[in-house]
Chain A
Amino acid sequence: MAPAAPMHPTPPTAPSPLAYNLYIYDRAGKCLHYQEWHRPKSVRQGAGTQADDQKQMFGLFWTLSNFCATLNPKDPAKSQLGQLRSVGDGCGFSAFTASTYKMHFLETPSGVKFVLNTARDVGSCRALLQSLYDDVFVGVGVRSPFYVPGEGVSCDQFDGAVAALLAQRGLLPAV
């Protein structure tokens, strides 16, 4: 009598969300969208204001990208620190794990950047971030008739669509 094998793994029903917050930046470094689900350490204890927090986050991943491109141990012709690089040039980074959270990063060829902070033990979110770009950002955000390139994404369905995608992948408790 063989036990029935699960058809697909059940997403973990965590008491607190596994996804903490999400930032979306455009090519110029402006934060187009910010959404949070779990942030016990308030912004005021960190950077100070919401705007400063977003600028610091941009500075962090911009510097990390330059750092990785300069350090790249596989490319003999790697760029030097401070040299201008275009989008996608040189080695990029996909995630870092700090002692309390894990930050996942994706830069699309058009320069749109996604930053997702999650719990430490979450696996790779590359496919999730790509899907966030394809289905939610392009599918819902950009196609909205009120969307102005360069301005923030601010349509009601966008927040809901982001939360739905994350819940589907098990990072947020199912609504």
Chain B
Amino acid sequence: MASLALTMYVINKSGGLVFSKDFAEVARVELNDSLRLASIWHSLNAISAQLSPLGGCNGIQLLEADTFDLHCFETPTGTKLLLVVEPQAQGVPGLLARIYELYSDYVLKNPFYEVEQVIKCELFDEALGALLKQQGGL
């Protein structure tokens, strides 16, 4: 049963990519391109807020494309969690909130992890994989 999540990125508050994981082989993007895409996303958020017809815009939360949907969850500290999913996938904001919990438990509470640096925490990968496998079956 195919999981609805295809790729996940975590972007730090300066726009740098700190974590990326592909859940489907076809979805793989070259590392250099994914680094650039992360910075581009960061700038697009700022520009879309500037162009907003109404004040108080925080940035893009959902991008609907032809073959995928991209959900973005921005934490109060400026870290962005991006999840590329199948089009019309349901329940993704809730899933992103759960992933944020895993991020604060397994990454931020890791005493060897430096904030804003690349994430290399085994427990985070394992917990993320388990969560998405559980979600994908629903």
Would B51 and A92 count as touching, CB distance under 8 A? Answer: no
Task: Given A73-B26, A91-B65, verify A98-B47 contact (CB < 8 Å).
Answer: no
Give, as a whole number of angstroms, the nearest-CB distance from B116 to chain A.
Answer: 23
CB-based contact A70/B37 at 8 Å: yes
Residue of A whose beta carbon sits closest to that of B32: A81
B130 to chain A, nearest CB (A): 22
A56 at the interface (CB under 8 A from B): yes
B126 within 8 A of A: no
User: Among the listed B62, B65, B67, which residue makes an inter-chain contact with A97, where contact means beta carbons less than 8 Å apart?
Assistant: B62
Knowing A53-B51, A60-B51, A81-B33, say if A75 contacts B57 (CB, 8 Å): no
Q: Contact flags (1/0) for B1-37 with A, using CB distance below 8 Å?
A: 0000011000000000000001010110110010011
Chain B 73-117 interface mask (CB, 8 Å, partner A; 1/0): 000000000001000000000000000000000000000000000
Contact of B62 (CB < 8 Å), options: A21, A40, A74, A96: A96
B40 to A: closest C-beta gap in Å: 6
Which one, A61-69, A128-136, A141-149, A158-166, is touching chain B? A61-69
In the complex formed, the residue of B with least CB distance to A96 is B63
Q: Does A36 contact B (CB under 8 A)?
A: yes
* A76–B44 CB distance below 8 A: no
What total of A-B pairs shows CB separation below 8 Å?
A: 125
**Which residues of A are found within 8 Å of B49, using beta-carbon distances?**
98
Point out the residues of chain B lying under 8 angstroms from A103, CB to CB.
48
CA gap between A117 and B48 in the complex, in Å:
11
**A70–B34 alpha-carbon span in the complex (Å):** 9
Whether A74 pairs with B54 at a CB distance below 8 angstroms is no
Q: Does A14 contact B (CB under 8 A)?
A: no
In the complex, besides A96-B62, A100-B55, A101-B57, 18 extra interface pairs with C-beta distance below 8 angstroms are A20-B53, A21-B53, A40-B53, A45-B55, A53-B51, A56-B51, A57-B51, A60-B48, A64-B63, A67-B44, A73-B24, A80-B30, A91-B66, A93-B63, A93-B64, A94-B64, A97-B60, A99-B57
